[in-house]
Structures are given as C-alpha cells and as structure tokens.
Homo-oligomer: A and B are copies of this chain.
Amino acid sequence: MDKKISDKVINRLTLYHCILTDYIEKNIEYVSSKQLAALLKIDDSQVRKDISVLNNSGKSNVGYIVKELKTSIEKTLGFSKNKKAFIIGAGNLGTALANYDNFQHYGLNILALFDNKKEKIGKTVNNKLILDIEKLPNLSRKSSVDIAILTVPRQYAQQIADFLVAADIKYIWNFTPAVLSVPPDVQVWNENLMGNFLQFTYNI
C-alpha cells in the first residue's frame, strides 16, 4: 500500500463494495455517488472523496462503472492478499463466522475451527474441520497461520490467548467481551459489540 487510508474510509469502502456486489447480482451497470450516499445516509461529496483514494474509480460520464469500481476497491484494500486464519471456539458464534462465506471474497480464508469438546472434534462446519485445540500450535506453524479469531467464553479468553501467543499467533481478532493481555509483538483487534451498540443507541 502506498498511501495510508483511514479506518473510516476503509469502513465505507467495504460498504460501497457490499452495495456494488448487490448491484452486480441485479445486473446494474452504473452507479452514481448520490445513490451510494443515499443508501448510507451520508453526503455524496464524502463518497466522491472516498472513491478518489482508488487508483481507477471506473468513472464514466453516466456514473461509475459498477464492476470497475468494485474491482478497484478490492485492489486498493488488498482483498487478493490471502490471509489465513483459524477460528478458536466452535460454538454458535464460531460456527456463524465459519459459515460467513463473504469472508472469502475479502481474502480471509478460514482453514479450520478449534475446540476442546471431544464431541465436536472431527465434525465440519461449512466444509471446515473442527480440530482439537491441542493440535493448534503444530498446525499454525506448519500452515503459517498467524491470525486467530477468538470466540470462546469470556472466562477462558485470557488463558486461550496465552496459548495462542505461545503458538506464534500474531493477530487476534477478539470477539469475546474480555480485554486480553498480550506481548508487544501481538496485535489484538477487539470486536467490541457493546461499544458499537452504545455508539448507536447513545441518543435513543
């Protein structure tokens, strides 16, 4: 990546991408910044500014060309960079995320799920195996996986995080409502659902 794109712009670009995916399914060929802005209830000057960070926006005299704009977002945000990850915890949330086929379009490949419940091990979710958590350190090194998606119950979150760190996992996408203590070379992204909800409902 040449230029640094802010988190808010990345967020909106992925939302435009969702809209464009939908338009392609509906065989819609062109889209205007006004249409994108109306769906997200933002100003269309903001949309044009966001799109200006892309190398090739697909701008034509009847609007942006849907397919070109979509490809351009994918290139800029690095969807083609294959990122391999494991899901830790094969409960409802882990299963839901494993079923989320959209991830693959964004370059996120879930290779397997891990759990410690014997009755789950060997089963599959969306063609991905549920493996014994004890197998993780060996497999993460063999398969060069350094991203873990953590969906275990809160009370085990830190203990499992320590285990992941010892297995050379460098990025933890944390869906648990626990704040994890990790060494400086490990990054945690807190999927802070309640924080998001409170931002949303703050003025209700």
CB of A139 closer than 8 Å to a CB of B: no
CB of A93 closer than 8 Å to a CB of B: yes
Residues from chain B with a CB closer than 8 A to the CB of A33 are none
Chain B residue with the shortest CB-CB distance to A79: B198
Residues from chain B with a CB closer than 8 A to the CB of A199 are 7, 10-11, 189
CB of A64 closer than 8 Å to a CB of B: no
How distant is the Cα of A38 from the Cα of B22 in the complex, in angstroms? 42
Asked if A200 and B179 make an inter-chain contact with CB atoms under 8 angstroms apart, the answer reads no
Asked if B40 and A102 make an inter-chain contact with CB atoms under 8 angstroms apart, the answer reads no
> For A19, A78, A191, A197, which residue has the most chain B Cβ atoms within 10 angstroms?
A197
Asked if A197 and B92 make an inter-chain contact with CB atoms under 8 angstroms apart, the answer reads no
Taken residue by residue from 1 to 40, chain A's Cβ proximity to chain B (1 for < 8 Å, 0 otherwise) reads as: 1000101001111110011001000000000000000111
How distant is the Cα of A198 from the Cα of B12 in the complex, in angstroms? 11
A132 CB to closest chain B CB (Å) equals: 21
A95 CB to closest chain B CB (Å) equals: 4
Asked if A179 and B19 make an inter-chain contact with CB atoms under 8 angstroms apart, the answer reads yes
Taken residue by residue from 160 to 204, chain A's Cβ proximity to chain B (1 for < 8 Å, 0 otherwise) reads as: 000000000001010001111100100111111111111111111
CB of A83 closer than 8 Å to a CB of B: yes
CB of A47 closer than 8 Å to a CB of B: no
Q: Which residues of A contact B (CB under 8 A)?
A: 1, 5, 7, 10-15, 18-19, 22, 38-41, 77-78, 81, 83, 91-93, 95-96, 99-100, 102-103, 106, 108, 147, 151, 154, 171, 173, 177-181, 184, 187-204
Other than the known A10-B195, A92-B92, A173-B197, what 16 A-B pairs have Cβ atoms closer than 8 Å?
A14-B192, A14-B194, A15-B179, A77-B202, A83-B204, A91-B96, A93-B96, A95-B96, A100-B177, A102-B154, A106-B194, A147-B201, A173-B200, A189-B199, A191-B193, A191-B196
